[in-house]
Structure 1
Amino acid sequence: MFIQASHIAFETLEPGLERRILGYTEQMMVTEVRFAKDVVGALHHHPHRQSAYVAAGSFEVTIAGETKVLVQGDGYIVEPDIVHGVKALEDGSVLIDFFTPMREDFLKK
């Protein structure tokens, strides 16, 4: 499957937070998430494995109670049901998220 991001619109989740689903199969999903400065992806957990790549900007990332600052080129991996969240430290910060299996809850019904 080819992904042409220029043909995929972002969905506004809340002010300063946008996501677009770049592609998925039953076993994998790739998303791009854009953040304004100080926007928080609240602490949460889910049954999916998640890997994220910092494509732009920087984030304060908390996983299982440990917090680190990650910058462009860094990333993280979260095992299922581990509490995690992020805070964007600058405007235009972008995460590329990978989920397995795919996040059915992200799809519009």
Structure 2
Amino acid sequence: MKESAIFQFNTDIPWEATAPGLQRQIFGYDDRVMLVKVKFEKGAVGTMHQHPHTQVTYVESGAFEFTIGAETKIIRAGDGCYMPSNVMHGCTCLEAGVLIDTFSPHREDFLK
């Protein structure tokens, strides 16, 4: 079983550039769950995609236009959203901010 250290400190976790205007930090995980922090610059796009993982996202800061399946909404700091397994989803950052993503099971592809 893969798992993270028991404690994670923001200052010790490197930011990984994943796309133009996007960076991520991988926090705690085991085979069943993973927490990821994603920083967006204004205008950055989380391209439409799907994956077998269930995802729950919390908006720590900023504003985002999210499309999940056939529905599009604007969510802001303090809001959240749920992406069921294998449902197309993506977002556009309207105001620079940070998303906190949780995945179940963990994203093996993020650990490579």
Structure 2 CA distance for aligned equivalents of residues 107 and 2 of structure 1: 17
Q: What TM-score results when the alignment is normalised by the length of structure 1?
A: 0.94
Structure 2 CA distance for aligned equivalents of residues 106 and 54 of structure 1: 20
SS at match of 1:57: strand
Q: Show the counterpart of 1:98.
A: 102
2:57 counterpart (47, 52, 56): 52
Q: Show the counterpart of 1:20.
A: 25
After superposition, residues 1-109 of structure 1 pair within 5 angstroms as 1-91=6-96, 93-108=97-112
Structure 2 CA distance for aligned equivalents of residues 41 and 102 of structure 1: 19
Say what the alpha-carbon RMSD is for the aligned residues.
0.8
Structure 2 CA distance for aligned equivalents of residues 22 and 87 of structure 1: 23
Percent of residue pairs identical: 47
Task: Give the counterpart letter for 2:40 in structure 1.
Answer: F
Structure 1 CA distance for aligned equivalents of residues 20 and 69 of structure 2: 26
Compute the displacement of 1:15 (Å).
2.5
Task: Give the counterpart letter for 1:71 in structure 2.
Answer: R
Q: Show the counterpart of 2:3.
A: none
Number of residue-to-residue matches in the alignment:
107
Compute the displacement of 1:3 (Å).
2.1
Compute the displacement of 1:14 (Å).
2.2
SS at match of 1:61: strand
Unaligned 5+ runs, structure 1: none
Structure 2 CA distance for aligned equivalents of residues 2 and 13 of structure 1: 24
Task: Give the counterpart letter for 2:53 in structure 1.
Answer: H
Flag as ranges the 4+ runs of structure 1 deviating above 2 A. Answer: none
Q: What TM-score results when the alignment is normalised by the length of structure 2?
A: 0.92
